[in-house]
Structure 1
Amino acid sequence: MSLLVANDLKKTFGDKTLLDDVSFTIEPKQRIGLIGANGTGKSTLLQILTGAEGTEQGEIRHAKSFTVAYVDQEPQLSGGGSILSKVYEGGAPVLRTLRRYEQALRRYQQNPSDQAAEKQLYEAQADMDAEGAWEAETAAKTVLTKLGFADLEADVDELSGGQHKRVALAKALIQPADLLILDEPTNHLDAASITWLESFLHAYTGALLLVTHDRYFLNRVTDAIYELEHGKLHYYEGNYETYLIKKAERDAQAEREEEKRQNTLRREMAWLKRMPKARGTKQKARVERVEALKADTPEPEQGTIDFVSDSKRLGKKVIEATDVSKWFGDKVILDDVSMRVDRGDRIGITGANGTGKSTFLHLLAGRLQPDRGVVDIGETVRIGYFTQGEAEIDGSLRVLEYIREGAEVITTKEGVTITAEQMLERFLFPRAQQWTYVSRLSGGERRRLYLLRILMEEPNVLFLDEPTNNLDISTLRLLEDYLTQFPGAVISVSHDRYFLDRVAERLLIFESDGKIESYYGRFEDYLQSKEAEQTTQKSASRAPKQRQGKKLSYKDQQEWKTIEDTIADLEHKQAELEKDMAAAGSDSARIQELLKEQEQVAADLEEAMNRWTELATVMEEER
């Protein structure tokens, strides 16, 4: 039985049809990726499924007990409170129990001698036992830690927009639900958090529906793709790689059908020119057929960006940083960093959140001064800076007016002049949309428009700070294709592995101590090399000791007598740590300490078990 059934959904926005008689199903445990160009209505469809938006037509059917956990593209958390308390919000019984326990624990910690507070805590602990909520508490704290939060008591009102997104994501991940809906979940996550999220979603027991621009992530967590295009929803079974193959087959079929339509139209138009004015029924029907063929012209597909910049005037040395250091308060962001950017360089910057990547970009652009060291920018450098946040665009301007403020025309490599209108078409803004007010564009469409404005100003150095956030896959392909031909230097800050693999030849990996690791090659290769390195280190530390003979030495015999007690002690220690974790409440420092201790005990236990197996094997051979 389907988890959710949608029939004949219709949704319009002004004179634009977002959903045109759309029908689909979501099955239990299905993993669906929803893709489509910015402004086609992906986020609107998600909101319809949550009940936040209505439709002009159609119905959605599901069981009465059906529940949804949803993360908006740009969530805004209000009402204050700690990160942990915000994550515990929700109507599920286990979340109510967790809230009561956290409140009781906080009251008791403030006044341990208060007998009423102590009684309330005991009652809350009993409820936690009865509800089985200790596991949910541990899961919530683990999720928050994996998403990069150390202080779980921090006030949400003091958090950035990106941190709001991560709190909202954690809240949805721990919430019991039949369907988990995620709108751009990898925005504001670093590579480690994205990898962890992939693993979490693989083990998730409910159904999943997500919108994401991250193609590696999409490929690894989905088993079906819905593509929203021109108001219609097309279904493709399989992950993103399978979708690309099937989409190419569908496009080829569409091209063949369009060629047939054009041939038929040419024949019918020739008939119209030869024949007198239609009077008979058959003649009128044939005229109507011609009109229908003309009206059936397909929508324009993805465009291309093809124009030269001022890069030919760029000197060999673009930017040089020498012994640059930067700190905020007592936190070191950069520590004696030196690097040189040359013409044609393709540099990708990545690393954990909060390690100074955007700060470094500001320093290289001259927008921020270092506390120590020098940044020298070449005289011919003309920087195009695509910022991480949403650009401030005057909503009263029309799309074409905004682009014309940057440039009326540009020139291709062949010297052909292209107007702003033509460039907008190449960047997926059809003529009919070019006189739309900017205020009526979706967030992704505004990002696309802002990107085009920067490119049309003809920079010879591009700084891209998280360019993939909120851009659709079609726009990313356009940008990637353009960057491969761009003759100037490109520096991109991104956690999008697919994007970095396409556009970066050298990686700068920012570390938490203000240092930067340099790597030449693909980001995926770097991640695999780090994973292999960690696996080798673990294997070396846990490998059983090699024996020279097949008999137990006196030392081995003594170890055999005690090893089972050692294993029992470690297993007992594991159980105690579980209890300590449950009792840690919202003490994030203590939780971090316990997580490290748990990892060490687990490693020691695995080593002891391996050693027991080795000794037992030799004992068996001696018999």
Structure 2
Amino acid sequence: MAHLLGAEGLSITFGTRTVLDEVTLGIDAGDRIGIVGRNGDGKSTLMRLLAKRAEPDSGRVTWRNDVSVGFLDQSDVLDGEHSVRRAVVGEAADHEWASDPKMRDIAAGLLDGLDWERPVRALSGGQRRRVALARLLMSDDDVLMLDEPTNHLDVEGVAWLAEHLKRRWRADDGAFLVVTHDRWFLDEVCTLTWEVHDATVDAFDGGYAAYTLARAERDRAAAVEEQKRQQLVKKELAWLRRGAPARTSKPKFRIDAANALINDVPAPRDTLRLQKMATARLGKDVLDLEDVSLTVDVADVEAEVRDEKLIFDHVTYRLAPGERVGVVGVNGAGKSTLLKLLDDQITPDSGRVKRGKTVRTAILSQEVHELESRAHRRVQEVMTEEKSVFDVGGREMSAGQLLETVGFPRSRQWTPVGDLSGGERRRLQLLKLLTGEPNVLMLDEPTNDLDTDTLAAVEDLLDGWPGTLIVVSHDRYLLERVTDHQLALLGDGTLRNLPGGVEQYLTIRAGREAAPGPTGKTYHRASGAAGEAAAGADPGPAGSGSAAPERAGGVPAQPASAAGGGASEAEKRQARKQMDRVEKQMQRLSERQAALHEQMAEAGQAVDTERLTALQSELTEVDTELAELEEIWLEAGELADS
């Protein structure tokens, strides 16, 4: 394949930190490259150097004579006085660009519904990003370099961009590099992955999934080597402790070898470990929307007028204990507004939001406004505002120890919040939420500013999250990874179940499938599975169902007599018997849970990844069953005491 551009011996240092050290690499025609790595490790710096937007301290970047390179920066480079039309196609007449199928496809995919005569200054941040991306894609560059192109794109926009890049060139023609945290996108479009870490770049064949597998194998091999090295260290240290022989001149080479081994212990790369926080117990009632309607004001900056937009039109929805739901939808359909309704930040025009007595919510917003008032304070001071000791996974940790688990070394803990990077602020924001011990966690675009390693750690945290989880995101990988089912907001004032997940949503938006009927479900299993109401059915408002639903494990839900407030003595006796039965089952499961934790610790020491995976799968099942039994026990207890 033809060579397009390359770098030889690239090195660059910022302050006292070396970001890239003697990096040599090349890009050939047909390369589809995804760049991954921790925030601050140099992904964007590498791309800017390759695009000749920055100069290295040493080394050089060479382009083939006739190659053209298009670059999408994270910063806004559009002229605010230009119209959308001029920003995208320049002075070209409509018939000139509209006759090109590629340009028409780009305009439809990224700028549909946008007024082309509107000045750029009147656009939102997301709209400006789409305009900049459209302008770049309209060109015929040989190499595209895209820095976070999926930022501000919804699920539909990300899917369109992936399809466009797959069809843009022949298999052996053109090339692109993309820096993004969207792992579905990386898997969909990339055939090569560059990992930037520790001032170097490692190349892996395949997209994100292949890279993850290859890195896991590399880390496993490194762990085996490290275990061998540690054994050798122990032998050398034991020999050094034997006293007099260690102080003679004869064994000097042995002493030097031992010291070299000790000094060669590498610092762990992946120090980020988010851990489960203690949560307040959640009762059977969580959050319910009952016949809710809401209209919001929408501002038109250019026309300097305000208009009203219907967001929810008589929506009924029940959120169950332990439910894990993802929310997708078109921009402006009300995804963030839904979270604010559930978090009691706004009041509906009609209907009501019913909140359980034990519910304690926390919402991770997109804007990180929560930290603005603390910009002058240091990270350590922000963490110790309410308390200095935290309960994490059953053990106490200081604020400093807790901050280290989310990637804040001691030296970084005394940095003013205003000097933190976007990813660091996001981590601190999430940590502050979790230490508040909520039992309903709402995440609004949580992938913003987070790298793939941090996202994997967040997902690991959410896997063990014992409360109710609601995630609004355009990150398809995240949604399908951490939620059990998805809901759609299509901009028509309704909330709809998506039995087919994100793929069904894209099919609906493409017009290849009719949208399911509005949801009006009144019941969920405690395990967080989707409601029993079939797609397309509308059970109506609360209380319209006839038969009492059945709980997980075949245990009937609360009888109608209990719901009415008065249970018979026979029902109370039956409830007490049920409590005794469930307690015995819970005891057995708790013992099994403890045994699995011990076995996983042993497997971890032996670096037995297959056994760890099997044990984790079994533990997840045990945790789920135990959570369901706890809920059944609570309901039976309420009935027995009524």
Give me the TM-score of the superposition, normalised by structure 2: 0.72
**Deviation for aligned residue 1:211:** 1.2
What is the CA deviation profile of residues 521-551 of structure 1, one whole-angstrom value per residue up to 9, with x for unaligned ones? 6434x358759992899xxxxxxxxxxxxxx
Alignment pair present for 1:375 and 2:375: no
Distance 1:80 1:477 in 2: 41
Larger deviation, residues 400-409 vs 492-501: 400-409
Given that 1:76 and 1:161 are in contact with CA atoms closer than 8 Å, whether structure 2 keeps it comes out as: no
Q: Which of residues 429, 444, 447 in structure 1 aligns to 2:426?
A: 447
Q: Which of residues 373, 385, 388 in structure 2 aligns to 1:408?
A: 388
Distance 1:430 1:245 in 2: 28
Of Structure 1 and Structure 2, the greater helix share is in 1
The within-5 A match list for 1:505-524 is 505-520=484-499, 522-524=501-503
Distance 2:366 2:61 in 1: 37
Cα–Cα, structure 1 residues 139 and 80, in superposed 2: closer, same or farther, change >3 Å? farther
What secondary structure, in the 3-state scheme, does the structure 2 residue paired with 1:3 have? strand
Q: Which of residues 160, 163, 182 in structure 2 aligns to 1:199?
A: 163
Alignment pair present for 1:253 and 2:221: yes
**Aligned residue pairs, count:** 496
Distance 2:400 2:500 in 1: 38
What secondary structure, in the 3-state scheme, does the structure 2 residue paired with 1:39 have? coil
Alignment pair present for 1:146 and 2:115: no
Given that 1:146 and 1:193 are in contact with CA atoms closer than 8 Å, whether structure 2 keeps it comes out as: yes
Distance 2:410 2:7 in 1: 33
What secondary structure, in the 3-state scheme, does the structure 2 residue paired with 1:455 have? helix
Distance 2:107 2:380 in 1: 43
Alignment pair present for 1:493 and 2:457: no
Given that 1:500 and 1:522 are in contact with CA atoms closer than 8 Å, whether structure 2 keeps it comes out as: no
Larger deviation, residues 374-383 vs 220-229: 374-383
Report the RMSD for the aligned CA atoms in angstroms: 2.8
Distance 1:101 1:220 in 2: 33
What secondary structure, in the 3-state scheme, does the structure 2 residue paired with 1:424 have? helix
Alignment pair present for 1:343 and 2:321: yes
Distance 1:532 1:389 in 2: 30
Q: Which of residues 404, 410, 434 in structure 1 aligns to 2:413?
A: 434
Cα–Cα, structure 1 residues 396 and 270, in superposed 2: closer, same or farther, change >3 Å? farther
Given that 1:309 and 1:460 are in contact with CA atoms closer than 8 Å, whether structure 2 keeps it comes out as: no
Distance 1:209 1:30 in 2: 8
1:311 aligned residue:
280
Cα–Cα, structure 1 residues 348 and 407, in superposed 2: closer, same or farther, change >3 Å? farther
Distance 2:387 2:85 in 1: 49
Alignment pair present for 1:331 and 2:299: no
What secondary structure, in the 3-state scheme, does the structure 2 residue paired with 1:368 have? coil
Distance 1:407 1:461 in 2: 21
Given that 1:505 and 1:520 are in contact with CA atoms closer than 8 Å, whether structure 2 keeps it comes out as: no
The within-5 A match list for 1:156-235 is 156-205=120-169, 206-235=174-203
What secondary structure, in the 3-state scheme, does the structure 2 residue paired with 1:429 have? coil
What secondary structure, in the 3-state scheme, does the structure 2 residue paired with 1:46 have? helix
Distance 1:44 1:522 in 2: 36
What is the CA deviation profile of residues 123-169 of structure 1, one whole-angstrom value per residue up to 9, with x for unaligned ones? xx8xx5xxxx5545x64453233125412222211112122221111
**Deviation for aligned residue 1:437:** 4.1
1:398 aligned residue:
378
Given that 2:148 and 2:180 are in contact with CA atoms closer than 8 Å, whether structure 1 keeps it comes out as: yes
Cα–Cα, structure 1 residues 73 and 378, in superposed 2: closer, same or farther, change >3 Å? farther
What is the CA deviation profile of residues 56-81 of structure 1, one whole-angstrom value per residue up to 9, with x for unaligned ones? 22211112443221222353534322
Which amino acid in structure 2 is aligned with residue 14 of structure 1?
Answer: G
Cα–Cα, structure 1 residues 226 and 63, in superposed 2: closer, same or farther, change >3 Å? same
**Deviation for aligned residue 1:247:** 1.1
What is the CA deviation profile of residues 177-196 of structure 1, one whole-angstrom value per residue up to 9, with x for unaligned ones? 12211122222212222211
**Deviation for aligned residue 1:496:** 1.3
**Deviation for aligned residue 1:87:** 1.7
What secondary structure, in the 3-state scheme, does the structure 2 residue paired with 1:513 have? coil
2:259 aligned residue:
291
Which amino acid in structure 1 is aligned with residue 280 of structure 2?
Answer: S
What secondary structure, in the 3-state scheme, does the structure 1 residue paired with 2:78 have? coil
What is the CA deviation profile of residues 236-284 of structure 1, one whole-angstrom value per residue up to 9, with x for unaligned ones? 0122222122111111111112112212222222333335598888755
What secondary structure, in the 3-state scheme, does the structure 2 residue paired with 1:478 have? helix
Which amino acid in structure 2 is aligned with residue 311 of structure 1?
Answer: A
Cα–Cα, structure 1 residues 40 and 404, in superposed 2: closer, same or farther, change >3 Å? farther
Q: Which structure 1 residue ranges, 5 or more long, are not aligned?
A: 89-98, 106-124, 538-623
1:364 aligned residue:
342
Cα–Cα, structure 1 residues 214 and 486, in superposed 2: closer, same or farther, change >3 Å? same
Distance 2:203 2:453 in 1: 18
**Deviation for aligned residue 1:235:** 0.7
2:637 aligned residue:
none
State percent identity of aligned pairs: 40
Cα–Cα, structure 1 residues 508 and 295, in superposed 2: closer, same or farther, change >3 Å? same
What secondary structure, in the 3-state scheme, does the structure 2 residue paired with 1:405 have? coil
What secondary structure, in the 3-state scheme, does the structure 1 residue paired with 2:241 have? helix
Distance 1:158 1:345 in 2: 40
What secondary structure, in the 3-state scheme, does the structure 1 residue paired with 2:8 have? strand
Given that 1:343 and 1:487 are in contact with CA atoms closer than 8 Å, whether structure 2 keeps it comes out as: no
Given that 2:156 and 2:506 are in contact with CA atoms closer than 8 Å, whether structure 1 keeps it comes out as: no
**Deviation for aligned residue 1:320:** 1.6
Give me the TM-score of the superposition, normalised by structure 1: 0.74
**Deviation for aligned residue 1:470:** 2.1
Q: Which has the higher contact order (CA 8 A, sep 6+)?
A: 1
Given that 2:380 and 2:399 are in contact with CA atoms closer than 8 Å, whether structure 1 keeps it comes out as: yes
Cα–Cα, structure 1 residues 515 and 384, in superposed 2: closer, same or farther, change >3 Å? same
Cα–Cα, structure 1 residues 401 and 231, in superposed 2: closer, same or farther, change >3 Å? farther
Distance 1:475 1:42 in 2: 15
Alignment pair present for 1:26 and 2:17: no
Given that 2:80 and 2:119 are in contact with CA atoms closer than 8 Å, whether structure 1 keeps it comes out as: no
Cα–Cα, structure 1 residues 7 and 456, in superposed 2: closer, same or farther, change >3 Å? farther
Which amino acid in structure 1 is aligned with residue 264 of structure 2?
Answer: D
Larger deviation, residues 333-342 vs 60-69: 60-69
Query: Any runs of at least 4 consecutive aligned residues in structure 1 with deviations exceeding 6 A, and if so which?
Result: 277-282
Distance 1:409 1:233 in 2: 39
What is the CA deviation profile of residues 571-602 of structure 1, one whole-angstrom value per residue up to 9, with x for unaligned ones? xxxxxxxxxxxxxxxxxxxxxxxxxxxxxxxx
1:50 aligned residue:
51
Given that 2:320 and 2:468 are in contact with CA atoms closer than 8 Å, whether structure 1 keeps it comes out as: yes
Distance 1:182 1:277 in 2: 62
1:100 aligned residue:
91
**Deviation for aligned residue 1:17:** 2.5
